[in-house]
Amino acid sequence: MSGNGHHSDKGTAVLELKREDFVSDQETRWCPGCGDYSILAQTLKTLPDLGIPREKFVFVSGIGCSSRFPYYVNTYGFHGIHGRAPTIATGIKAANPDLSVWVVTGDGDALSIGGNHFMHAIRRNVDINLILFNNRIYGLTKGQYSPTSEFGKKTKSTPFGSIDYPINPLCVALANEATFVARSIDVDVKQLASVITQAAKHKGISFVEVFQNCNIFNDGAFKQFTEREFREDRTINLEHGKPMIFGKNRDKGLRLDGPRLAVVQLGNGVSESDLLVHNAAAPDPCLAFMLARMDYPDFPVPVGVFRSVIKATYEDLMDDQVQESIRRMGPGNLETLLNSGDTWLAN
Amino acid sequence: MATVEIEEKEKQVVELENVTIRFAGDSGDGMQLTGSQFTNTSAIFGNDISTLPDFPAEIRAPAGSIPGVSGFQINLSSRDIRTPGDEPNVLVAMNPAALKVNLPDMEKGGIIVVNSDSFSELNLKKAGYERNPLEDGSLAGYRVIAIPLSDLNANALKSLNLGKKEAERCKNFFALGMMYWLYDRPVEPTLKWIREKFQKKPQIVAANSLAVTAGYNYADTTELFTTHYRVRKAALAPGKYRNITGNEATALGFIAASQVAHRPLFYASYPITPASDILHELSRHKNFGVKTFQAEDEIAAIGAAIGAAFTGQLALTGTSGPGVALKSEAIGLAVMTELPVVIANIQRGGPSTGLPTKTEQSDLLQAMFGRNGECPVAIVAPASPADCFRMAFEAFRIATQFMTPVFYLSDGYLGNGSEPWKIPAVNDLPKIDVKFATNPEGFHPYSRDEATLARPWAVPGTPGLEHRIGGLEKQHITGNVSYNPDNHDYMVRLRAEKIARVASFIPEVEVYGNPEGKVLVVGWGGTYGAITSAVESLQKQGGSVSSIHLRYLNPFPMNLGKILSRFEKVLVPELNLGQLRWLLRARYLVDAVGFNKVKGLPFKISELVQEIQGLL
């Protein structure tokens, strides 16, 4: 295994980590053309620059193609069971808040079997980075529909079309008051790297949905708005503090008409000052929720950081109670504890 | 807390060697409280005691109804006792339903103290009585003492000007005071407890204290009680004692292991009867560095425990049978990743939701086999409430030494029952040496210790040891994912061998009685008290019977096979349909027979004596 930068004898790292330090010795086994390669590449690019020693990273995954991810990063990793990665990650972070804990999951792993744990990890605001590779299909088991697949989707298990109404993971995250919510696209490498970095730097739960193309079982799921020729006109990059403008010619925008979002053409009396300014730091998630629901073709598909707020994290609150207890009652003494309560002597 | 030494006063009393008292009433009548108080006082007084609380499953069934009856049985003795008693000698029944439910268990000619005020037409109807048993002669075979408890209590508290309902709530303390006089117990420990427990509510302190004292005085002066009884101090081995329930002892055992191992304790759990008390107890001890996590469900609890174990903490999860069922897949993950996680199962009546507040020991085969694949997990089981401390500690000793999950099988009877516990000195506790891997040179996540076959414990945060683990099969030594056929066969056998080797690190089992003979009784878990008492009494009569009690169930102690072969017949009494019997027969080819009871109740000494006699 390769070295991980220079360490002084005291173990404090003078961090000069490089991408190569994070590449594992395992051969990647995703299908050629899989969107996962891009996400892996951008992650390997961003990890060295986070200022965190390599040994402090832990990647936790569940089951699915996404969940092979930990094997391809040369850090501590835990390939867990289907849907349960957030529980393992919560235990890791609560036990050792010093670690940088990541969960890599998919639309089936996180929203189907893992829906419950997904919700609670977010609700608790555990400081972990939860990256959901959404390919709108079950890839590993070869092509069944997932909780994010479109209504009517024809797959191996739904030859007559899916009768499930899908859900939007961003909405689930926001409903649970996620303190950092972002979305990226596997092929938009610069934006993806930026979002991963911001997620890592946010203290608290950082949820990132990545539209990921499964070229074998659901090829082109997002191409309507991710292809180069359409991307600028059909997506909008949310930037905190900036007006919501999009389009190849930067000539379209979003504003609130009463309680609803509306797409408007700039010019003809509509100027930039009429548009919504994105506020990722808004204390409540309602507008973010509305933005998250925007979908092609009626709206531009939003990407970027929807929300980024700060509140006390679960592991800090837990640790605070332990420290406070030690302060108030003194460090526990086993002898005293065993002899507590009503005792008596037998002679 | 200072220890209390009680002196015995000389009185004209009838001496008893032991007495079994059952307090019973409506769920709202405070019978658990009354029973616990009587227990604590008796323990401090110096009797050997053993208890059996009997809770209804619902939080509050309709008042006065049969399903709402709550009971507490205590056996106190001047000699060594191990069970809460076969049949109560005394029943204190606070209402007709309590009488109806508990009368069938009573000893013939026993004492029945009733609150006659509660025997109204309505309450009799709720209990299914067509006529009043206090008047129709049906209780002729018992010594009935009918007391207008509610009235007497209300009168005693008159000076405090309480509302009727508030006063009524103290009547259990009045009954307690009476029972203290009847059995020559001091009231001071309860008065002290009342002062401390209700210190923020002086009116309640006054009311309860007055009720206890009034009850005592009433019993002393009234001619209803012609004699009272004394049960002398028991000759316990010298030392310092405290009364303890199994769940309390379990919690203390885990904390002790964490202190001795110098590793923080991480307890992840989901509330479930009868294990929730352990979560409550551990969550109070944060100043020991204990982190408790009430997870969103059973699976999240074990997931978090596995994560914590990965980071190097002493991690555990506690539950009952249904929770273990949910955790099965994750336990398999802990086996494949070879992480030390303790899974505490405080067993209860099953299957499915079963009988949440009743005891049973029917999860043994689940612990042995309840996972997909060849998935061995070590199993330990305490034998008595106080033994829970030692076996909880042992669970972690084995888990960390062998890098394996371990089942700790207790049950509702042990968890809620109590007995005196001789407090061990901290220095006498066994050592638990936890060593983490640190040297990247030659490190492989799945290399093996020569003796134990344990893999190294390499925790995140350690430079140079970065590795990935997970549920897929692992290549020997490297720990990489491997589907190789020979490797899989090898690893399956290696994991089995690792657990088998635990046998070299646990004590051999001791025979109670002669090393050979006609009948060997083999038990495990909470049946220890009843089995040992039954065997003891038969030995006294010259019977050729011995017994062993297994605290380690997987692997079995090394000398078990030899012991089994030295007896003509092997009897396995169990509170299930024969799970240990199944294992013994399969492993040792011994024609063991079972004595099986699945009533949600512990064994009576008398029924075991009868069964064993049939084989002698």
Q: What is the pLDDT of residues B377-396, one digit of tens each?
A: 999 999 999 999 999 999 99
Which of B36, B42, B286 should be substituted to probe chain A, the one whose Cβ sees the most A Cβ atoms within 10 Å? Answer: B286
The residues near B87 (Cβ < 8 Å, ≥ 6 apart) are: B20, B105, B106, B107, B110, B604
Q: Are residues A203 and A236 located together in one domain of the fold?
A: yes
Superfamily of domain B242-428: Thiamin diphosphate (ThDP)-binding fold, Pyr/PP domains (3.40.50.970)
Contact B310/A at CB under 8 A: yes
Same domain for A84 and A179: yes
The answer to whether residue A2 scores a pLDDT higher than 50 is no
Contacts of A345 in chain B (CB under 8 A): 3, 5, 238-241
Residue A22 lies in a domain: yes
Dist CA B321 CA B125 (whole Å): 37
| Nearest CB neighbour to A342, from listed B40, B330, B467 | B40
From the list B294, B305, B265, the residue with the least C-alpha distance to A88 is B305
Question: Residue B314: closest CA among chain A residues belongs to which residue?
Answer: A95
Predicted local confidence at residue B1, as pLDDT: 46
Task: Provide the Cα torsion B239, B245, B250, B255; round to 10°.
Answer: -60
CA-to-CA separations, A162 to A151, A193, A210, in angstroms, rounded: 6, 34, 23
Angle at A314 between CA A312 and CA A320, to 5 degrees: 80
Confidence (pLDDT) at A8: 42
Q: Which residues of A touch B285 (CB under 8 A)?
A: 332, 337
Per-residue pLDDT, A23: 96
Task: Specify the 3-state DSSP secondary structure of B572.
Answer: strand
CATH at residue A48? 3.40.50.970
Q: Of A60, A343, A344, which is closest to B46 when you measure between CB atoms?
A: A344
Q: How far is B5 from chain A (nearest CA, A)?
A: 6
Asked if pLDDT for residue A12 goes beyond 70, the answer is: no
Sign of the C-alpha dihedral, residues A314, A319, A324, A325?
Answer: positive
Is B423–A117 a contact, with Cβ atoms under 8 angstroms apart?
Answer: no
Contact (CB<8Å) B468/A24 = yes
Q: Report CB contact under 8 Å: A339, B424.
A: no
Q: Is residue A338 part of a domain?
A: no
Q: State the Cα–Cα distance between residues B328 and B335, nearest whole angstrom.
A: 11
Residue A1 domain-assigned (yes or no): no
- Looking at residue A1, its pLDDT comes to 36
Strand boundaries in B214-340, DSSP class E: 229-231, 239-245, 265-269, 291-294, 314-319
Pairwise CB contact (< 8 Å): B304 & A80: no
Would the pLDDT of B501 be above 80?
yes
Closest Cβ opposite residue B285 in set A70, A332, A344: A332
Average pLDDT score over chain B: 95
| Cα atoms found within 13 Å of the Cα of residue B396, Cβ hemisphere only | 36
Q: Which of B468, B482, B483 to mutate to test the interface with A (most CBs of A within 10 A)?
A: B468
pLDDT range class, residue B3, cuts 50, 70, 90: low
A206: CB partners within 8 A, 6+ apart: A128, A129, A130, A179, A180, A182, A198, A199, A200
CB atoms within 10 A of CB A63: 25
Contacts of A74 in chain B (CB under 8 A): 466
Closest CA–CA distance from residue A36 to any residue of chain B (Å): 19
Q: What residues of chain A, 29 to 58, have a C-beta less than 8 Å from chain B?
A: 53-58
Measured between beta carbons, the chain B residues lying within 8 angstroms of A55 are 460-466
pLDDT tens string B118-134: 999 999 999 999 999 99
Q: Which residues pair with A79 in a beta bridge?
A: A61, B470
Other Cβ atoms closer than 10 A to B341: 31
Distance from CA of A304 to the nearest CA of B (A): 30
In this predicted complex, what is the ipTM? 0.95
Question: Considering only CA atoms, which of B586, B579, B529 is closest in space to residue B366?
Answer: B579
Give the angle A311-A317-A321 at the CA atoms, nearest 5°. 155
Q: Is B480 on the interface with A (CB under 8 A)?
A: yes
Phi, psi of B111, deg, nearest 5: -90, 130
Q: Which pairing describes strands B517-524 and A6-7: parallel, antiparallel, or unpaired?
A: unpaired
Considering only the top CATH level, what class is B517-615?
alpha beta
Judgement on whether residues A106 and A170 belong to the same structural domain of the protein: yes
Q: Does A80 touch chain B (CB under 8 A)?
A: yes
Q: Is residue A293 in some structural domain?
A: yes
pLDDT band for position A10 (cuts 50, 70, 90) = very low
CB–CB contact A341 B469 (8 Å): no
Residues A326 and A201: their CA atoms lie apart, in Å, by: 30
Query: By percentage, how much of chain A surpasses pLDDT 90?
Result: 93
Residue B12: Cβ within 10 Å count: 7
The per-residue pLDDT for range B572-609, each reduced to its tens digit, is 999 999 999 999 999 999 999 999 999 999 999 999 99
Q: Do domains B242-428 and B517-615 have the same CATH topology?
A: yes
Confidence of residue B13 (pLDDT cuts 50, 70, 90): confident
Residues in A touching B464 (Cβ below 8 Å) = 1, 4, 55
C-beta of residue B88 within 8 angstroms of C-beta of residue B102? yes
For residue B58, the model assigns a pLDDT of 72
Coil, helix or strand at residue B609: helix
CB B337 within 8 A of CB A80: no
A75: chain B residues, CB-CB within 8 Å:
466
Residues of chain A with Cβ-Cβ distance to B327 below 8 Å are: none
Length of chain A: 347
Q: How far is CA B46 from CA B34, B249, B393, in A?
A: 18, 20, 27
Res B8 pLDDT > 70: no
* pLDDT at residue B139 in the model: 95
Predicted confidence (pLDDT) per residue in B364-379, tens digit: 999 999 999 999 999 9
Q: Is the pLDDT of residue B2 over 70?
A: no
Contact A343 B239 (CB under 8 A): no
Best mutation site among B1, B45, B191, B296 for testing chain A: the one with the most A CBs within 10 Å?
B296
Neighbours of B455 (CB within 10 A): 25
Residues B4-12 have a mean pLDDT of 48
Pick from A7, A77, A342: which is nearest to B4 by CB?
A342
Q: Are residues A120 and A140 in the same domain?
A: yes
Q: What is the mean pLDDT of residues B474-490?
A: 97
Q: Is the Cβ pair A95, B266 closer than 8 Å?
A: yes
Residue A15 in contact with partner chain B when CB distance is under 8 A: no
Same domain, A236 and A212: yes
pLDDT at site B12 = 64
Confidence of residue B472 (pLDDT cuts 50, 70, 90): very high
* Full-model pTM: 0.94
Burial (CB count within 10 angstroms: exposed 0-12, middle 13-18, buried 19+), residue B382: buried
Of A77, A87, A322, the CB nearest to B289: A322
Q: How confident is the model at residue B256 (pLDDT cuts 50, 70, 90)?
A: very high
pLDDT at position B223 is 76
Confidence at residue A6, expressed as pLDDT on a 0 to 100 scale: 41
- Would an 8 Å CB–CB cutoff place B430 in contact with chain A? no
Do A321 and B286 lie within an 8 Å CB cutoff? yes
Q: Which residues contact B107 (CB under 8 A, 6 or more apart)?
A: B87, B88, B89
How many angstroms separate the CA of residue B220 from the nearest CA in chain A?
27
Do A230 and A261 lie in a common domain? no
CB-based contact, A14 to chain B, within 8 Å:
no
Identify whether A346 is part of a domain. no
pLDDT at residue A263 is higher than 70: yes
Tally of domains within chain A = 2
Q: Which CATH architecture has domain B14-231?
A: 3-Layer(aba) Sandwich (3.40)
**A26 interface with B at CB cutoff 8 Å:** yes
Minimal Cα–Cα distance from A76 to chain B, Å?
A: 5
Per-residue confidence (pLDDT) for residue A282, from 0 to 100? 97
B78 token code pair: 């001047």
A334 close contact with B: CB closer than 8 A? yes
User: Are A116 and A257 members of one domain?
Assistant: no
Q: Are residues A140 and A257 in the same domain?
A: no
Note whether A182 and A284 are same-domain residues: yes
User: Which domain, by its residues, includes A271?
Assistant: 243-277
Going from N- to C-terminal start, the domains of chain B cover 14-231, 242-428, 517-615
Does residue A73 sit within a domain?
A: yes
Q: Same structural domain for residues A64 and A188? A: yes
* Chain A hits for B46, Cβ within 8 Å: 344, 346
How would residue A4 be classed by pLDDT, with cut points 50, 70 and 90?
very low
Q: What is the mean pLDDT of chain A?
A: 94
Of A24, A78, A334, the CB nearest to B470: A78
Return the number of CB contacts < 8 Å for A and B: 233
Q: With CB atoms and an 8 Å threshold, state whether B6 touches A344.
A: yes
Nearby residues of B135 by Cβ (< 8 Å), 6 or more positions away: none
Residues in contact with B177: Cβ distance below 8 Å, sequence separation at least 6, in sequence order: B187, B211, B212, B213, B214, B215, B216, B217, B218, B219
Q: Nearest by CB to A88, which of B239, B303, B313?
A: B303
Chain B positions touching A78 (Cβ under 8 A) are 307, 310, 337, 468-470
Mean pLDDT of B83-98: 96
CA distance A59 to chain B (A): 9
Do residue A25 and residue A117 come from a single domain? yes
Note the pLDDT of residue A342.
87
Are A345 and B268 a contacting pair at CB < 8 A? no
Q: Is residue A341 part of a domain?
A: no
- CA B48 vs CA B40, B76, B224, B442, B606: distances in Å: 11, 6, 28, 57, 20
- Report the distance separating Cα B36 and Cα B70, nearest Å: 13
| pLDDT, position B7 | 46
Please report the pLDDT score of residue A14 as a whole number: 57
pLDDT digits (tens, 9 = 90+) for B508-542: 999 999 999 999 999 999 999 999 999 999 999 99
Find the CB nearest B3 among A61, A86, A344.
Answer: A344
Tokens standing for residue B100: 């109806």
**Are A267 and A283 within one domain?**
no
In a domain, A108, yes or no: yes
Alpha-carbon distances of B321 from A118, B344, B352, rounded to whole Å: 26, 10, 8
pLDDT at A7 > cutoff 70: no
Contact B303 A322 (CB under 8 A): no
pLDDT digits (tens, 9 = 90+) for A174-183: 999 999 999 9
Task: Give the mean model confidence (pLDDT) for residues B448-453.
Answer: 97
Residues B127 and B97: beta-carbon distance below 8 Å: yes
Instruction: Name the pLDDT band for B10 (thresholds 50, 70, 90).
Output: very low
Q: What is the pLDDT of residue A5?
A: 39
